[in-house]
Amino acid sequence: MTSRTILFLSATALGATLVLPAFAANAPIGHGLTSCDGVCAAVLEPLDAVPLVRVSDDHDEEDDDDDHGRRHDDDDDDCEGDGHGWRLFSRGDDDEDDCETPRGQNAPNSMNSGTPPANGLFGNGAAPKAVTN
């Protein structure tokens, strides 16, 4: 293999490495979550159709009410069906999601998991960084 061939191949590999992520991130802007098709759809769509069922609830809502010192709290289960007001919460647990959402499509992966949704808004696919001053 000549040095020219080696040079050409290495340059091509370099170019592909730099460009492919950018093209991948340039998906059509819109609701990227529905862009699953082909093999992806065959695998994932049956999972979406299966409802998540809570099989056990052995805790007492009253016993687990840890809203100590909150100003008022007359609604122990406000994760669903309460169309009024906030459930009061203290500043200390702002980041703790105590709503009983099942793990799955209605539960966030984590806080700042590093993988933003594929909605076409994030140019390079990198997660945003947030700082509060």
Partner 1 sequence: MKSLIATLALTTALTLPGLAMARPVTLSTTMNNYGGNGAYLALYVTDASGAYVGSLWMAGGKSKYYKHLTDWAAATGGNTAEINGITGASVGSGRTLDISLDLADALFDAGYTLHIDAAVEDYRDSPNEIAVPLTSDGFGKSVQGRRYISSFTYR
Which of 122, 132, 105, 117 lies closest to 33 in space, CA to CA?
Answer: 117
Stretch that binds partner 1, among 39-47, 54-62, 87-95 (CB under 8 A): 87-95
Under the binding rule (CB under 8 A), the answer on residue 6 touching partner 1 is no
Quote the CA–CA distance of 23 and 14 in Å, as a whole number: 15
Window 97 to 126, contacts with partner 1 (CB under 8 A):
97-99, 101, 105-117, 119-124, 126
Stretch of residues binding partner 1 (CB under 8 A), selected from 39-47, 51-59, 60-68, 95-103? 95-103
Name the residue nearer to partner 1 (CB basis): 19 or 42: 19
Closest CB to partner 1 among residues 29, 55: 29
Angle, vertex CA 33, rays to CA 32 and CA 38, nearest 5: 95
- Give 116-121 contacts, CB < 8 A, sequence gap 24+: 117/32, 117/33, 118/27, 118/32, 118/33, 118/35, 119/29, 119/30, 119/31, 119/32, 119/33, 120/27, 120/28, 120/29, 120/30, 120/32, 121/29
Residues between 44 and 83 that touch partner 1 (CB under 8 A)? 78-79
| CB 43, min distance to partner 1, A | 17
Task: Using CB under 8 A, list all residues that contact partner 1.
Answer: 4, 7-8, 11-12, 14-16, 18-19, 21-23, 25-26, 29-33, 78-79, 85-89, 91, 94-99, 101, 105-117, 119-124, 126-133
